[in-house]
Amino acid sequence: MHYDVAVIGGGPSGAVAAAELAKAGHSTILIERNLANVKPCGGAIPLGLIEEFSIPDELVEKKLSRMSVRSPHGRTISMHMPNGYVGMVRRERFDQYLRQKAVSAGAELVEALVKKIERSSDRFTIHLSRDLPPVEASYIIGADGANSKTADELGFPPNDLKVIAMQQRFHYCDELKPYEELVEIWFDGEVSPDFYGWIFPKTDHIAIGTGTEEHRHNIRQLQQRFVEKIGIREKPYLDEAAKIPMKPRSSFTQQRAILVGDAAGLVTPANGEGIFFAMRSGKLGALAMIEQIRHKTPLAEYEKTFRKLYAPIFFGLQVLQSVYYRNDRLRESFVAICRDQDVQEITFDSYLYKKMIPAPWSVQMKIMAKNVYHLVKGC
């Protein structure tokens, strides 16, 4: 069977891309290796994403406008988002919903593992598991996550897989009651020497996790320490772990193939946010492919647009991570700076809608001075 486009991977990036292409009338196959897969993920999404992709209320288990950050010395800064919230979704439901939307738009969904891809002058031949016949497609979208088989098969430059993250799900218990309506982030070297720990409440459980640069620290021990520090005595009912690629590949476009989401390395440093960028890249990638099919516009436009929109955010967060995540003294300073109302406002605005609106000059100067003060003072 021949398709205009084969989308490999049925996570948020692939499902959104397949829906766009099918909606535009292009024959599209969406290939997912395991439809029952539960992607290890905190499931925190910003309001801007919920609005743009019309995510229904029943999928957003919690809308949290309260957040707190905790320093290595246990200092806690409480914050409130007056104009928005962090939505909490559960990936087993969220991904299924997005795939269903792609199917409703006309995409064909197939459960199979992509094992091999062959390329000829005008098409790709995709070899599948389960003895299914090979599929042919004129174009490919690789949406198959951090360890992308598509990228390997098509010879894209390597993905800088930086962080390994682990998360455990706990049923509510007395120790976790205070977190029922609150997102809490721990900046604490014992919990993570180079990333952070998170506490994300859902309807019937709380997801608690931490991350660290791959191969440098023992993620299980860090997670255990985190759980001990919170004081949880109950056992988790689910452990999950996966890699987070927090640096875009040096190129994620070829003449007839593109990578989107984690496959392209589109997770922001410092906060490890990937769902928004997966869905945005899926959409931008699909729109560029539609332009290529119809008007021969180069697919490189997709990468150009993505970088133009989001490179400043990736850069800013990379700087923040390299300055403040190095040791507990700097983490203490970082949490102290979070007390500033203007810092909170800028952080929330850029998180919720991914827009970098420059603060007035006087505010920038004040924040700069506070940065210097806390960096020197160390708290």
- Interface residues with ligand FAD (CB under 6 A)? 8-14, 31-34, 37, 39-45, 113-114, 143-145, 149, 165, 167, 209, 242, 244, 261-263, 267, 272-276, 278
User: Least Å distance between CB 33 and ligand FAD?
Assistant: 4
Q: How far is the C-alpha of 10 from the C-alpha of 28, rounded, in Å?
A: 13
Indicate the residue among 116 and 377 with the shorter CB distance to ligand FAD. Answer: 116
Q: How far is the C-alpha of 17 from the C-alpha of 43, rounded, in Å?
A: 20
Q: Strands (DSSP E) along the chain, which ranges?
A: 2-8, 28-32, 44-46, 62-64, 66-70, 76-80, 86-88, 108-111, 114-119, 124-128, 135-142, 163-170, 183-186, 197-201, 206-213, 238-244, 257-259
User: Least Å distance between CB 39 and ligand FAD?
Assistant: 4
- On whether the CB atoms of residues 108 and 97 are closer than 8 A, the answer is no
Find the residue with minimal CB distance to ligand FAD. Answer: 274
User: Least Å distance between CB 26 and ligand FAD?
Assistant: 20
Indicate the residue among 135 and 330 with the shorter CB distance to ligand FAD. Answer: 135
Tell me the DSSP string of 28-45. Answer: EEEEES-TT-------EE
Indicate the residue among 146 and 346 with the shorter CB distance to ligand FAD. Answer: 146
- On whether the CB atoms of residues 225 and 191 are closer than 8 A, the answer is yes
User: Least Å distance between CB 167 and ligand FAD?
Assistant: 4
User: Least Å distance between CB 329 and ligand FAD?
Assistant: 27
Q: How far is the C-alpha of 312 from the C-alpha of 250, rounded, in Å?
A: 16
User: Least Å distance between CB 342 and ligand FAD?
Assistant: 25
Indicate the residue among 43 and 193 with the shorter CB distance to ligand FAD. Answer: 43
From residue 49, give the alpha-carbon distance in Å to each of 84, 157, 242: 12, 29, 23
Indicate the residue among 71 and 271 with the shorter CB distance to ligand FAD. Answer: 271
Indicate the residue among 278 and 346 with the shorter CB distance to ligand FAD. Answer: 278
